[in-house]
């Protein structure tokens, strides 16, 4: 049980880490990725990848081929990050797949639909 949150904005990162630690006291929550070979799930939740010349948000050289790699970027659907992960044999999840799965929850939170009326 380990979660690493990496963010270049130290204040935003520390706020999130503090909140997560309060909700999940049994999970080691850190700001360091640690050994890439021990990562089971790797998610990019930044806009890095929207532009073709963006650097990869995380180096993929040392991740395992059974690591699940997800990208929140919806356009383009296949980012360089996902292409590189797929080339390593990783299972990937595109940003549009994440957005589609979360849409019913957002509609409920915004009050657009009644809770429980939409299914995924």
Cβ-Cβ contacts under 8 Å for 60 (sequence gap 6 or more): 36, 69, 81, 84, 85, 88
What would the two tokens of residue 45 be? 């939740």
The mean per-residue pLDDT over the stretch 20-44 comes to: 95
Q: Could you read off the pLDDT of 55-99 as tens digits, one per residue?
A: 999 999 999 999 999 999 999 999 999 999 999 999 999 999 999
Q: What is the pLDDT of residue 120?
A: 53
User: pTM of the entire structure?
Assistant: 0.84
The two structure tokens encoding residue 92: 């990937």
The pLDDT confidence band at residue 52, using thresholds 50, 70 and 90, is confident
């Amino acid at each position: 049980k380990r979660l690493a949150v990496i963010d270049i904005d130290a204040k935003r990162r520390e706020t999130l880490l503090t909140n997560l630690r309060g909700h999940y006291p049994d999970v080691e929550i850190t700001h360091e990725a640690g050994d890439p070979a021990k990562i089971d799930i790797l998610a990019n939740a930044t806009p890095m990848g929207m532009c073709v010349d963006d650097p990869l948000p995380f180096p993929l050289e040392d991740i395992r081929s059974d690591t699940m790699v997800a990208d929140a970027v919806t356009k383009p659907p296949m980012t360089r990050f996902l292409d590189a992960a797929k080339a390593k044999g990783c299972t990937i999840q595109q940003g549009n797949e994440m957005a589609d799965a979360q849409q019913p929850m957002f509609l409920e939170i915004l009050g657009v639909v009644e809770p429980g009326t939409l299914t995924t």
